Amino acid sequence: MNRIQQAFESKTNLLNTYFTAGYPSLHDTIPLAQALVAAGADILEIGMPFSDPLADGPVIQGSSTVALANGMNLPVLFEQLRGLRNAVADTPVLLMGYLNPVMQFGVEEFLQKAAEVGVDGLILPDLPLAEYEEFYQETFKKYGIKAVFLITPQTSEERIRRLDSLSEAFLYLVSGPGTTGGTTLPDADAQQLYFERIAAMNLKNPRLIGFGIADKVGFDRACGHADGAIIGSALIQALRDVEDVPDAATRFVRSIKQA
């Protein structure tokens, strides 16, 4: 059983926190990871900054722009992540990004480096499923990196079941239309039907809900429909223009996880 599966076996209402590597400053990656875990984050999702992040809204796009200007890139990130496991112990860690930089780096070299530093999973929203199955699945397995796939309200049952069969991590349920950090709330009745439809499928993988979740109310609501939630844009906003970045991250996580 991998670290992701162990987390879902041992806990309920998991909080997955997303932050962009190299933001707010280049060397915040490991201090942030350590602070988030100490404060109660159950899974870490580290964003690899990219100039054209199609699934992300203005907040995460802005953090990527800053991180790239700070000098963050994949070689720098992997060098920083050498200290990952000392900082976060057995907390599952995923990298999230886009296919183009990974292909430029070299897919197998990327997966090997990720495994070497203790990364558990990878989210690439623009990786076509057919390409994953034909070209990359065996390499993911070779290095023990778990692929995480996104599901939207428009995803067919056939595709959902296929994604479920291909994953050994969790399924990322996009809460509604739009990009990360969206402020336009989806229709409540339609969202309820969507979550109920997924639950009724009795999938083998646990589910986390992401996009548009910003506070404890949203987190608790998501946990009523899934095994936890993913929060990114709201955390990144909480790190903006602060003197003590780890302290700001700690306070944010505690505001979500408080009893």
Residues belonging to the chain? 259
Per the residue annotation, which of 9, 42, 52, 56 is the catalytic one? 56
Per the residue annotation, which of 45, 120, 164, 227 is the catalytic one? 45
DSSP state letter for 51: S
Helix (H) / strand (E) element for 88: namely: helix 84-88
From 5, 19, 29, 43, select the one nearest 229 (Cα to Cα): 43
Q: Which residues of 29-65 are buried (b: 16+ CB within 10 A; e: fewer)?
A: bbbbbbbbbebebbbbbbbbbbeebebbbebbbbbbe
Contact assessment for residue 43 and residue 26, using Cβ atoms and an 8 Å cutoff: no
The answer to whether 109 is a known catalytic residue is no
The answer to whether 56 is a known catalytic residue is yes
From 45, 42, 37, select the one nearest 11 (Cα to Cα): 42
Residue 149 token pair: 């796939």
Strands (E) across 48-188 are located at 93-96, 121-123, 146-151, 171-174
Q: How far is CA 2 from its chain centroid?
A: 17
Task: Catalogue the active-site residues.
Answer: 45, 56
